[in-house]
Amino acid sequence: MEVTRAKQIAESGKIVPVTYEGRQVLIQHVDEKNKTARIYSKENPEEEMVVLVHLLNEK
């Protein structure tokens, strides 16, 4: 995924199907400078991770 698209999803307020390592996640914040996103899984919302945006996939 591109940083611009990840930022659009994060700011939209809509639930967009995005996966990370095969798990459905929600994007909480995008850091354009570092090309990372703070995400959490739908199954475990308390487990936040910071990952490289290009590892996210929009379904």
Which regions of 1-59 does DSSP assign to beta strands (E)? 18-20, 23-31, 36-41, 48-52, 56-58
pLDDT band at 42 (very low <50, low <70, confident <90, very high): confident
Per-residue pLDDT tens digits for 14-33: 989 999 999 999 999 999 99
In this prediction, residues 24-47 reach a mean pLDDT of 94
In this prediction, residues 33-41 reach a mean pLDDT of 97
pLDDT band at 13 (very low <50, low <70, confident <90, very high): confident
What is the reported pLDDT for 51? 98
Per the CB < 8 A criterion, the answer to whether 37 and 30 are in contact is: yes
